[in-house]
Amino acid sequence: MGDSVNPFESFQEQVDEAAEYIDIDEGMLDRLKNPERILETNLSVEMDDGSIEVFRAYRSQFNGDRGPYKGGIRYHPNVSRDEVKALSGWMAYKTATAGIPLGGGKGGIVIDPSEYSESELERITRAFATELTPLIGEDSDIPAPDVNTGQREMNWIKDTYETLENTTEPGVITGKDISSGGSEGRVEATGRSTVIAAREAFDYLDKDIHRATVAVQGYGNAGWISAKLVEEMGATVVAVSDSSGGIYNEDGFDAVDAKIHKRETGSVTGFAGADEEITNEELLQLDVDLLIPAALENAITEEVAQGVQADVISEAANGPITPKGDDVLAEKDVLIVPDILANAGGVTVSYFEWVQNRQRFYWDEERVNNELEDIIVNQFDTLVDAYEEHGLPSMRVAAYVVAIQRVVDAAEQADVWP
Ligand code: NAD
């Protein structure tokens, strides 16, 4: 994979690059590049057969200058301390880019959840929630779903926390089921912001997203919703993929039918609406107008980037392009809407969920979607202004410049104690 890099190094390079355009001293820069604290814990959990298995788990609280730490919990065999640190940093700058009053955090368990029963997953999740309880809370740290976690896991964490703390505090976690205090529109929020941001990028280039061809890598929550919503905008989805491989049809296919096929068979491959099976790498290099990477980080390396033909990339995934991949794409004039804006819909509607939980007053889906649209469109315009005004090299640098300045402003107001 060529320059497949450590995601935390990748993250720190992005902050360094943006910091060149801002007047900050070295101590502050160090603060902006490293988490405030990390929980590393080993969860001993009883399996269905009575044996004990131990799972390594992390929670990184990156920056709380602008509000409570906020970020998802990932279940994946590749979860590592550095990955969690990187993801928590991206969250801090994502909440700042979106302009919502939250900080950044992230957590994860090193596990392949497909190898465990539901009752085992519940015990593993509740064991993690027990470790997290002293650290999390509506005003301190608010977890959410990420890869391989969803409403079910969020409800287990909320229930464990509320039981241990003898309270009702639905805002301790977001991404919950509606009946447990979740928000309308949360499930679709990440895909929704990804395609709103893509539409704004097409407008900026004087191109029409309605006529665009689209390829989506990763067909989980972020990817499949992006595909569905961009199709509703009139675009044609020609390729999608998951960890088993990809499918392609030059004339396009129905995104919902592809999802139904994946639900029934476990993968998008073998879908009758496609006429060709392709690899993930081939998908990323298709001649399409819009590419949506929605799987994991480091998908588009320097080598893969050489073959990318899309005009616009809207990053549904976190960190899908390596810094060297970014350089190649900049030379090719590909407009990249960076993850910290494109996929900020998830955390923005999480913020709406938290607001509703605290007010114990719930909004309808139309209000949620309208408020989200306003935030993504306004912040896209803010990034374009910064990009043009300061002659910045990319929209990613513009996003970091805007976000870092917001975090620095808050940190300076708070001052350092004692
Ligand atoms: P998910 O578990 O629902 O889906 C992940 C998808 O990626 C699955 O289809 C899986 O098969 C596929 N995948 C995994 N490894 C792959 C590989 N090597 N090649 C191709 N496909 C692969 O996860 P999700 O919630 O959709 O998250 C996807 C990305 O979006 C992650 O980077 C996540 O951090 C980011 N994200 C998600 C949200 C959210 O609200 N769900 C919010 C912001 C960012």
| Alpha-helix runs per DSSP H in 233-338 | 255-265, 280-284, 302-306, 323-331
Per-residue pLDDT of 353-386, as tens digits, reads: 999 999 999 999 999 999 999 999 999 999 999 9
Say whether both 327 and 264 belong to one domain: yes
Name residues contacting ligand 1 (CB within 6 A): 145-148, 190, 217-223, 241-243, 280, 294-296, 316-318, 343, 346
Calculate how far, in angstroms, residue 245's C-alpha sits from the geometric centre of ligand 1.
Answer: 14
Exposure on the CB side of residue 3, measured as CA atoms within 13 A: 18
Residue nearest to atom 22 of ligand 1 (CA): 243
Say whether both 90 and 154 belong to one domain: yes
- The answer on pLDDT for 3 being more than 70 is no
Per-residue pLDDT of 182-206, as tens digits, reads: 999 999 999 999 999 999 999 999 9
Mean pLDDT, the chain, as a whole number?
95
Say whether both 160 and 210 belong to one domain: no
pLDDT at 416: 62
CATH number of the domain at 144, please: 3.40.50.10860
Q: pLDDT-based confidence at 415, cuts 50/70/90?
A: low
pLDDT at 412: 87
| Domain total in the chain | 2
pLDDT at 120: 98
pLDDT at 82: 97
**Mean pLDDT to the nearest integer, 54-83:** 97
Say whether both 272 and 330 belong to one domain: yes
Per-residue pLDDT of 228-258, as tens digits, reads: 999 999 999 999 999 999 999 999 999 999 9
Residue nearest to atom 32 of ligand 1 (CA): 317
Question: Does residue 364 belong to any structural domain of this protein?
Answer: no
Say whether both 247 and 296 belong to one domain: yes
Out of 75, 221, 349, give the residue to mutate to test ligand 1, the one with the largest number of ligand atoms within 8 Å of its CB: 221
State how far Cα 299 lies from the chain centre: 14
Per-residue pLDDT of 380-410, as tens digits, reads: 999 999 999 999 999 999 999 999 999 999 9
Calculate how far, in angstroms, residue 332's C-alpha sits from the geometric centre of ligand 1.
Answer: 26
What token pair was written down for 109?
């368990």
Percent of the chain with pLDDT over 70: 98
- The answer on pLDDT for 311 being more than 70 is yes
Question: Does residue 120 belong to any structural domain of this protein?
Answer: yes
Calculate how far, in angstroms, residue 20's C-alpha sits from the geometric centre of ligand 1.
Answer: 31
Percent of the chain with pLDDT over 90: 94
Q: pLDDT-based confidence at 316, cuts 50/70/90?
A: very high
- The answer on pLDDT for 2 being more than 60 is no
29, with CB counted inside 10 A (0-12, 13-18, 19+), is middle
Say whether both 258 and 204 belong to one domain: yes
Say whether both 128 and 248 belong to one domain: no
DSSP label of 330: H
Say whether both 117 and 223 belong to one domain: no
Question: Does residue 106 belong to any structural domain of this protein?
Answer: yes
Question: Does residue 266 belong to any structural domain of this protein?
Answer: yes
Say whether both 210 and 317 belong to one domain: yes
Nearest Cα neighbor of 202 from 102, 350, 311 is 311
Q: pLDDT-based confidence at 153, cuts 50/70/90?
A: very high
pLDDT at 1: 39
- pTM for this predicted structure: 0.93
**Mean pLDDT to the nearest integer, 83-93:** 96
**Mean pLDDT to the nearest integer, 41-46:** 98
Calculate how far, in angstroms, residue 296's C-alpha sits from the geometric centre of ligand 1.
Answer: 6
Over the Cα atoms of the chain, what is R_g? 20
Say whether both 201 and 152 belong to one domain: no
Q: Could you list the residue range(s) of the whole structural domain that residue 90 is in?
A: 37-171
pLDDT at 207: 97
Residues 6+ apart with CB under 8 A from 331: none
Say whether both 257 and 130 belong to one domain: no
Say whether both 105 and 208 belong to one domain: no
